[in-house]
């Protein structure tokens, strides 16, 4: 019987799948007429939908039902849930099934030993063992644990009858070493024999042994095996220590795994289940709302776009990205990782991240991918969904009538006559013809209100844009080997950009396995090897979403509605001279920007070996490499545009252009660690680790070229080989360069100590040398210390309502070295405004100049962080609370401080100033059940206060300017303010009357705004110098929200599950730049926000007059252009039903169908399309809506199967 089971375990996966499929088909055939046929049809429907064969584990006559059980550890963990059993007159075998289902635990038995009678059983709050003991009592059957340890086996109590000379009896009670709970069902075996028994419902055992000199072996699922010599004792009580299964009770905190309860740093964990359940495209999407202290903002909503991530505030205006480590491998980002491959995410927020010293100043995100577990049957999960995405809030642009009204008001304001678009004429074909035609096509229809003109944004909207995903994971293990395989595919269309709408596809492969090569006589592993490989391939194309000069959405928002989309011959229209700068934005998007495709391959492979010559001493060596390759193509075809006045066409572009780029390269890292765990005098527990690592990155190169005259005129032929001639007159460029190489050398150590698991101490130190700095400035040392006290383990605190209370504190230093290499030298640039032509006009002479001022003293940026926190569980662990208070001071941030142009070249990177981040994170959760109704509600909130405390040389670092209509800088880093906060004039509404302007005087009685007119903005003379000038500017709003919060609700009733996830921010501002632009470029279109403009006393106090003269002072950047950025978004609503609940004999463990709505609704006062705006031209600010690609609202249906 066991042999059959073993075979099952060791069969390879394909075989198993096939076998299951055959079984399923057989069953389907012969049971079709039974009363279950409808259920089976339903199952087959699910299976067909999911396009993977189902399974039915009926193996021959023996009927071994071996259901996969995943939640072992939670069952067996000290605080496991007990259950209620209600069995009414069921067949004995069905009763067993019921209990096994209820407990999600596999039970195996041979049908011929099972009694034929029916049973009833009613139990409250019992464990699976207690239930089985009750059921089996009097049957002569018992529960035992086979060698493979992951199903319970029902067998006859005859095992020890073979012993003829029973001489002695040994008995005792077995308890959990941590909780003291008694453990029923523990196997007690006489070493070297098959003789054994198991403990009863009260954890008691009694075994006849031949001699009191023998040895007993105690084993139990989820616990460490213990071998105990009897040594003459008749009573042996044993404490078993829970085995820690990865990702559940252990947390990876940097080279070591620690029990969550014993952590002393500030961390947050998110389980893979939770991530997977949200069905997001990227992992970071799923972290939003569940990770207090981690601020995630999308840079734009285009498929495949990344996030801005700030952990415990932004510590630098240089590179503030956290360090990402996937299974020990440092990677640049985790955008390529499939959420379905993730077992666990651990975010190190606090100072203890210092074990990653050099790059940990901005926190560390540690990802563990799915691994198999020892002695785990093959488990196959399949998850798929298909969804439809739509724009959830439209841009509200003016239609042609509204636009004309507004423009004409501006004309009148400027003292001009309003436009009469029906009589405005235009000379056809420039100078060659004097024939005049109406300038605005269809002007009379527009005037009559019959034609609303072109809604450009609507024209590029891709309705019901599809999104789909398939993910399969197979994992399992024997006692020496574990494995996990993942395969997934995701595809997402963009909601904007028709007919060249954005698109993103991603394929992921995961292969993880670990093998024990050598063990000692006690089966303790001496030598282990393993590998972790993730591969991803993605391809994407997109529209322009950059600054005001490279942003198709901005172009749609600002294009006037008078221009029709199409002109003569069905071609895109040629511009009309109404606004001479404005081309047909769709034609530009389609022809010049939208034809592109990038493909990226990313392979992360890590090989590790662990040698443990003596117990608890482990040497691990890990070599990892990250190989990436990418290609990009883009194409601008030759094309014609159609006149909107007659049947002629105009050459839009006479020379096509093909661009092709490729890059390939890798980085590698080799780490060695030596760790030792030991206990002194029983209660002093130590874990020490020393390590070293060497890393090289940027070992790669890029190659690219652009050429004209592609012999085909289509994107699909956009390869340089199709451009056979080099154009001597321009249009040909080539490039090829190595990646920027760098290296880091590190030595680190770690000590963890606890006394009786009550007083916890931890210390880490790391020294890093970075090639980014000059000799003498390369090395940085980063120590950190932390301490914790689990008060509830003190005898004096024995409260019935407080189950667990830990207070903890930590302090440490982290570094940051993220700058380009060679900043300590002045590099010489040879391209880019360096050429000149002497004499021969067809021959360029190369020039060269230093493109940066050197800074030989540049060195590490250091952040010093202190954190205090507590974790508490109340009311039988139903209420959990975690709280962190932190203060993080960053010294010497690495930044290119802009200098006045007088300096003559680019400024160097400097250790430019200090930033302080302070704040708190709080997380509260309640979970309980009422009958079969399980519910949990959790909420988290974090607050961060960011202050620039010092800038080298004092003053202000200005953000980018000129990114939108030649604007000035809108955000700054300035001493005493939050870095990246908006900077401009404070206003006091709009001057309603001339009298108000006259009354606005300085001390000398002069008018403060002498040139203002009613309808202009009333600026506040902040510095009191009697006039309005640049010195009156100040911080006018926070760009990054100080408050972030998330709420989640999970409900489960019988087979139903429901999830609600909401996220929100508060306290920040957003610039809706289209409003501002309306003053800068008065002929551009407006959003309906402009309808609230001032047009007479009392009409508006929040939007100034429109004037076609240009309102030069009104478009000074001021708080008038800021809108509140607070929002609360219903991020995810999911309703699922597990059909396993009604059809329990379905051959799957889980057959869940669900419907999800992502981004269901957003409560906000912001008028634009999406308030979650991560964009700013510099990485250190955000909240600037220049035309922001919004996140879609997605409705999706999915299925989840588990075999």
Partner 1 sequence: MKRIAIYLSVILSFVLLWGCKQNFLDSQDLTQKTSANFYQNPSEAEQALTAIYSMYCKAMDPNNGGSIFLLSEIMSDEGFSGGGQHDNEAAIDQWQISKQNQYDAVWADYYQGIFRANTLIKHIDQVEGWESKSKKNQVEGEARFMRALDYFDLMRLFGGPVNGKMRGVPLNTDPVKTVYKRASVDSVYAQIAADLKFSIENMPSVAYHELEPGHATKWAAEALMARVFLFYNGQAYGRNYSHSATMPLPGGGKITNDDVVKWIDDCISNSGYQLEPTFGNLWPYSYKSPNNNYPYAVNNNLEWVGDDGSNGGNNPEAVFQIVYSTFGGWNDNKSTAYNNSIALFQGIRLQQTLPFGYGWGFDTVSPTVYNTTKWFENGDKRKKGTVWNVNDKTEGVTPSYQSGGDLWEETGFWQKKYVPIYVKAPASAGATGNIWNYSHEIYPSLTYNRQIDNTQNLILIRYSDILLMAAELGSPNALTYLNKVHKHSGLSPYGGVTEAEIRHERRAELAFEGIRYWDELRYGTMTSDLQDESGVTIWNAGSKTKYKPRIDRFKATKGFLPISEKQITLSKGKLKQNDGWSSGDRFYEGD
Other beta carbons within 10 angstroms of residue 686's beta carbon come to 15
Interaction between residue 140 and partner 1 (CB under 8 A)? no
Main-chain dihedrals φ then ψ at residue 91, nearest 5 degrees: -60, 145
Binding mask 845-864 for partner 1 (x = CB under 8 A): xxxxxx--xx----------
Rule CB under 8 A: choose which of 21, 228, 447, 611 binds partner 1. Answer: 611
Residues 763-782 that bind partner 1 (CB under 8 A): 769-771, 775, 778
Task: Select 306 or 546, whichever has its Cβ closest to partner 1.
Answer: 546
* Least gap, CB of 323 to partner 1 (angstroms): 19
Which residues make Cβ contacts (< 8 Å) with residue 276, sequence separation at least 6? 286, 339, 340, 342, 383, 471
Residues 689-718 that bind partner 1 (CB under 8 A): 692-694
Q: Which stretch binds partner 1 (CB under 8 A): 325-333, 924-932, 1009-1017, 1152-1160?
A: 1009-1017
Q: Measured between alpha carbons, how far is 383 from 1153 in angstroms, rounded to an integer?
A: 10
Q: Are 1198 and 1153 in contact (CB under 8 A)?
A: yes
Measure Cα distances from 1036 to 80, 216, 981, 989, 1118 in Å: 53, 74, 8, 14, 7
Q: Are 83 and 125 in contact (CB under 8 A)?
A: yes
Other beta carbons within 10 angstroms of residue 417's beta carbon come to 8
Binding mask 547-586 for partner 1 (x = CB under 8 A): ------------------------------x--xx-----
Interaction between residue 726 and partner 1 (CB under 8 A)? no
Structure tokens at 456: 């450009």
Q: Are 679 and 710 in contact (CB under 8 A)?
A: no
Binding mask 1027-1056 for partner 1 (x = CB under 8 A): x-xxx-------------------------
Rule CB under 8 A: choose which of 165, 522, 681, 729 binds partner 1. Answer: 729
Closest CA relative to residue 575, chosen from 592, 587, 593 = 587
Residues 434-493 that bind partner 1 (CB under 8 A): 434
Interaction between residue 827 and partner 1 (CB under 8 A)? yes
* Least gap, CB of 1074 to partner 1 (angstroms): 18
Residues 405-424 that bind partner 1 (CB under 8 A): 414
Rule CB under 8 A: choose which of 705, 743, 925, 939 binds partner 1. Answer: 743
* Least gap, CB of 966 to partner 1 (angstroms): 5
Structure tokens at 271: 């389980």
Task: Select 333 or 638, whichever has its Cβ closest to partner 1.
Answer: 638
Q: Are 1173 and 307 in contact (CB under 8 A)?
A: no
Q: Are 828 and 816 in contact (CB under 8 A)?
A: no
Task: Select 770 or 917, whichever has its Cβ closest to partner 1.
Answer: 770
Q: Measured between alpha carbons, how far is 426 from 355 in angstroms, rounded to an integer?
A: 71
Q: Are 456 and 397 in contact (CB under 8 A)?
A: yes
* Least gap, CB of 849 to partner 1 (angstroms): 4
* Least gap, CB of 1110 to partner 1 (angstroms): 7
Residues 898-927 that bind partner 1 (CB under 8 A): 898-905
Task: Select 434 or 800, whichever has its Cβ closest to partner 1.
Answer: 434
* Least gap, CB of 902 to partner 1 (angstroms): 5
Count of chain residues binding partner 1 (CB under 8 A): 104
Q: Which stretch binds partner 1 (CB under 8 A): 217-225, 393-401, 892-900, 1091-1099?
A: 892-900
CA dihedral 442, 443, 445, 446 (to 10 degrees): 120
Task: Select 140 or 820, whichever has its Cβ closest to partner 1.
Answer: 820
* Least gap, CB of 898 to partner 1 (angstroms): 6
Q: Measured between alpha carbons, how far is 73 from 63 in angstroms, rounded to an integer?
A: 26
Pairing of strands 204-209, 987-990: unpaired
Q: Are 294 and 310 in contact (CB under 8 A)?
A: yes
Closest CA relative to residue 328, chosen from 529, 622, 617, 534 = 622
End-to-end Cα spacing for the chain: 21
Rule CB under 8 A: choose which of 45, 828, 875, 995 binds partner 1. Answer: 828
Q: Measured between alpha carbons, how far is 1073 from 982 in angstroms, rounded to an integer?
A: 13
* Least gap, CB of 900 to partner 1 (angstroms): 4
Task: Select 666 or 1091, whichever has its Cβ closest to partner 1.
Answer: 666
* Least gap, CB of 627 to partner 1 (angstroms): 20
Residues 208-267 that bind partner 1 (CB under 8 A): none
Strand order in the sheet with 267-271: 267-271, 342-348, 364-369, 323-326, 329-331
Interaction between residue 1026 and partner 1 (CB under 8 A)? no
3 conformational bin, left if phi > 0, alpha if psi -120 to 50, beta if neither: alpha
* Least gap, CB of 555 to partner 1 (angstroms): 18
Residues 654-683 that bind partner 1 (CB under 8 A): 654, 670, 672, 674
Residues 861-880 that bind partner 1 (CB under 8 A): none
User: What is the residue whose two structure tokens read 């130190």?
Assistant: 765
Structure tokens at 827: 């590099």
Interaction between residue 725 and partner 1 (CB under 8 A)? no
Closest CA relative to residue 490, chosen from 475, 474, 505, 473 = 505
Q: Which stretch binds partner 1 (CB under 8 A): 256-264, 295-303, 1111-1119, 1139-1147?
A: 1111-1119
Which residues make Cβ contacts (< 8 Å) with residue 983, sequence separation at least 6? 956, 958, 969, 970, 971, 972, 974, 977, 1033, 1034, 1035, 1036, 1117
Q: Measured between alpha carbons, how far is 36 from 45 in angstroms, rounded to an integer?
A: 14
Interaction between residue 593 and partner 1 (CB under 8 A)? no
Rule CB under 8 A: choose which of 482, 762, 1009, 1087 binds partner 1. Answer: 1009
Task: Select 38 or 1112, whichever has its Cβ closest to partner 1.
Answer: 1112
Rule CB under 8 A: choose which of 34, 1109, 1142, 1163 binds partner 1. Answer: 1109
Closest CA relative to residue 1145, chosen from 377, 101, 107 = 101
Q: Which stretch binds partner 1 (CB under 8 A): 181-189, 273-281, 428-436, 468-476?
A: 428-436
Q: Which stretch binds partner 1 (CB under 8 A): 879-887, 1005-1013, 1084-1092, 1127-1135?
A: 1005-1013
* Least gap, CB of 672 to partner 1 (angstroms): 5
Measure Cα distances from 330 to 335, 695, 743, 1196 in Å: 14, 10, 13, 34
Residues 494-533 that bind partner 1 (CB under 8 A): 518, 526-527
Task: Select 208 or 653, whichever has its Cβ closest to partner 1.
Answer: 653
Task: Select 93 or 672, whichever has its Cβ closest to partner 1.
Answer: 672
Q: What is the DSSP string of 1134-1190?
A: EEEEEGGGT-TTSSSSEEEEEEEEEEEEEEE---SS-S-----SSTT---EESS--P
* Least gap, CB of 499 to partner 1 (angstroms): 26
Q: Measured between alpha carbons, how far is 958 from 971 in angstroms, rounded to an integer?
A: 7
Rule CB under 8 A: choose which of 97, 619, 712, 1058 binds partner 1. Answer: 619
Task: Select 2 or 849, whichever has its Cβ closest to partner 1.
Answer: 849
Other beta carbons within 10 angstroms of residue 1177's beta carbon come to 19
* Least gap, CB of 957 to partner 1 (angstroms): 9
Rule CB under 8 A: choose which of 427, 631, 757, 945 binds partner 1. Answer: 427
Residues 938-957 that bind partner 1 (CB under 8 A): 953-956
* Least gap, CB of 896 to partner 1 (angstroms): 13
Coil/strand/helix, residue 432: helix
Q: Measured between alpha carbons, how far is 329 from 669 in angstroms, rounded to an integer?
A: 8
């Amino acid at each position: 019987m066991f042999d059959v089971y073993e075979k099952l375990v060791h069969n390879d996966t394909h075989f198993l799948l096939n076998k299951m499929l055959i079984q399923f088909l057989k069953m389907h055939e012969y049971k079709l007429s039974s009363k279950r046929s409808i259920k089976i049809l339903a199952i087959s429907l699910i299976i067909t939908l999911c396009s993977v064969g189902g399974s039915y584990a009926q193996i021959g006559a023996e009927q071994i039902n071996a259901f996969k059980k995943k939640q072992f550890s939670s069952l067996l963990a000290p605080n496991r849930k007990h259950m209620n059993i209600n069995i009414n007159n069921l067949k004995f075998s069905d009763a067993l099934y019921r209990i096994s289902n209820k407990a999600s635990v596999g039970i195996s038995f041979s049908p011929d030993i099972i009694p034929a009678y029916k049973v009833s059983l009613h139990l409250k709050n019992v464990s699976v063992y207690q239930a089985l003991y009750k059921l089996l009592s009097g049957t002569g059957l018992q529960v035992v644990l086979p060698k493979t340890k992951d199903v319970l086996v029902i067998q006859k109590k005859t095992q020890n009858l073979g012993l003829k000379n029973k001489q002695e009896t040994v008995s005792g009670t077995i308890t959990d070493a941590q909780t003291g709970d008694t453990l029923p069902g523990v196997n007690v075996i006489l070493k070297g024999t098959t003789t054994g028994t198991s403990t009863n419902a009260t954890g008691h055992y009694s075994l006849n042994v031949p001699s009191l000199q023998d040895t007993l072996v105690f084993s139990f699922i989820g616990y460490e095996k213990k071998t105990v010599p009897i040594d003459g004792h008749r009573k042996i009580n044993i404490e078993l220590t829970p085995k820690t299964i990865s990702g559940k009770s252990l947390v990876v905190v940097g080279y070591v795994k620690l029990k969550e309860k014993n952590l002393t740093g500030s961390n947050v964990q998110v389980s893979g289940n939770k991530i997977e359940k949200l069905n997001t495209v990227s992992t970071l999407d799923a972290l939003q709302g569940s990770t207090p202290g981690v601020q995630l903002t999308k840079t734009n909503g285009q498929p495949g776009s990344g996030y801005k991530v700030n952990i415990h505030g932004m510590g630098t205006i240089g590179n503030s990205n956290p360090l990402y480590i996937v299974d020990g491998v440092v990677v640049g980002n985790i955008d390529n990782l499939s959420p379905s491959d993730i077992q666990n995410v651990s975010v190190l927020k606090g100072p203890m991240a210092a074990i990653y010293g050099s790059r940990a100043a901005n926190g560390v995100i540690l990802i563990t991918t799915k691994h198999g577990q020892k002695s785990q049957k093959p488990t196959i999960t399949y998850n798929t969904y298909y969804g439809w995405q739509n724009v959830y809030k439209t841009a509200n642009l003016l239609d042609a009538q509204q636009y004309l009204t507004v423009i004409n008001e501006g004309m009148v304001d400027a003292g001009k006559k309003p436009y009469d678009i029906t009589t405005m004429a235009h000379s056809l074909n420039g100078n060659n013809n004097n024939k005049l035609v109406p300038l605005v096509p269809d002007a009379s229809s527009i005037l009559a209100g019959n034609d609303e003109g072109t809604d450009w944004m609507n024209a590029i909207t891709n309705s019901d844009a599809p999104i789909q995903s398939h993910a399969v994971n197979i994992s399992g293990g024997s006692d020496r080997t574990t494995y996990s395989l993942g395969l997934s595919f995701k595809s997402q269309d963009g909601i904007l950009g028709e007919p060249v709408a954005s698109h993103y596809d991603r394929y992921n492969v995961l292969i993880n396995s670990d093998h024990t090569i050598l063990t000692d006589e006690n089966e303790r592993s001496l030598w282990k090897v393993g590998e972790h490989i993730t591969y991803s391939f993605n391809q994407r194309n997109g529209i322009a979403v950059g600054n005001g000069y490279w942003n198709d959405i901005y172009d749609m928002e600002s294009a006037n509605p008078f221009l029709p989309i199409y002109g003569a011959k069905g071609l895109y229209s040629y511009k009309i001279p109404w606004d001479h700068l404005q081309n047909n934005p769709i034609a530009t998007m389609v022809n010049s920007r939208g034809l592109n495709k990038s493909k990226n391959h990313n392979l992360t492979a890590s090989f590790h070996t662990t040698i443990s010559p003596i117990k608890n001493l482990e040497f691990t060596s890990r070599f990892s490499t990250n190989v990436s390759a990418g290609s990009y193509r883009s194409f601008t075809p030759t094309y014609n545009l159609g006149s909107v006045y007659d049947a002629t066409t105009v050459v839009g572009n006479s020379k096509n252009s093909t661009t092709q780029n490729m890059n390939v390269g890798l980085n590698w890292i080799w780490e060695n660690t030596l760790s030792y765990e030991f206990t002194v005098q029983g209660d002093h527990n130590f874990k020490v680790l020393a390590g070293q690592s060497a890393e090289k990155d940027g070992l790669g190169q890029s190659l690219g070229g652009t050429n004209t005259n592609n012999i085909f005129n289509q994107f699909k032929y956009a390869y340089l080989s199709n451009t056979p001639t080099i154009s001597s007159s321009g249009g040909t460029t080539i490039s090829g360069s190595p990646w920027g190489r760098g290296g880091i050398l590190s030595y680190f150590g770690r000590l963890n100590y606890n006394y009786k698991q009550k007083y916890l101490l931890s210390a880490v130190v790391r020294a890093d040398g970075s090639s980014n700095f000059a000799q003498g400035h390369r090395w940085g040392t980063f120590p950190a210390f932390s301490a914790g006290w689990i008060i509830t383990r003190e005898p004096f605190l024995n409260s019935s309502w407080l189950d667990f209370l830990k207070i903890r504190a930590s302090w440490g230093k982290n570094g940051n070295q993220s700058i380009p290499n060679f900043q300590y030298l002045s590099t010489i640039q040879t391209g880019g405004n360096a050429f000149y032509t002497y004499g021969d006009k067809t021959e360029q002479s190369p020039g060269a100049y230093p493109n940066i001022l050197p800074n030989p003293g540049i060195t590490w940026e250091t952040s010093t962080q202190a954190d205090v926190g507590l974790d508490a569980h109340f009311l039988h662990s139903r209420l959990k609370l975690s709280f962190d208070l932190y203060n993080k001071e960053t010294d010497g941030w690495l930044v290119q401080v802009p200098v006045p142009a007088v300096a003559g070249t680019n400024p160097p990177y400097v250790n430019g100033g200090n930033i302080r981040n302070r704040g708190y994170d709080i997380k509260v959760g309640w979970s309980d059940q009422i009958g079969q109704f399980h519910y949990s509600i959790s909420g988290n909130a974090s607050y961060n206060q960011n202050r620039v405390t010092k800038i080298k040389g004092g003053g202000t670092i200005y953000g980018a300017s000129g990114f939108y209509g030649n604007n000035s800088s809108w955000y700054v880093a300035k001493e005493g303010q939050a870095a990246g906060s908006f900077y401009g004039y404070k206003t006091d509404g709009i001057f309603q009357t001339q009298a108000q302007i006259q009354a606005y005087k300085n001390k000398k009685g002069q008018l403060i705004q002498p040139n203002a007119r009613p309808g202009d903005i009333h600026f506040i003379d902040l510095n009191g110098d009697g006039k309005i000038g640049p010195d009156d500017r100040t911080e006018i709003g926070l760009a990054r929200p100080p408050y972030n919060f998330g709420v989640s609700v999970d409900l489960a009733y019988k087979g139903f599950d429901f999830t609600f996830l909401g996220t929100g921010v508060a306290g920040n501002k957003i610039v809706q730049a289209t409003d501002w632009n309306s003053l800068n470029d008065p002929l551009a279109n407006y959003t309906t926000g402009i309808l609230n403009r001032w047009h007479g006393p009392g009409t508006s106090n929040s939007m100034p007059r429109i004037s076609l003269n240009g309102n030069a002072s009104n478009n000074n950047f001021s708080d008038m252009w800021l809108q509140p950025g607070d929002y609360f978004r219903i991020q995810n609503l999911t309703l699922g039903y597990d059909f396993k609940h009604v059809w329990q004999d379905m051959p799957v463990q889980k057959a869940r169908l669900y419907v999800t709505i992502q981004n269901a609704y957003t409560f906000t006062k912001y008028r634009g399309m999406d308030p979650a705006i991560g964009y700013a031209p510099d990485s250190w600010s955000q909240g600037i809506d220049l035309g922001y690609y919004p996140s879609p609202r997605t409705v999706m249906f999915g299925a989840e199967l588990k075999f």
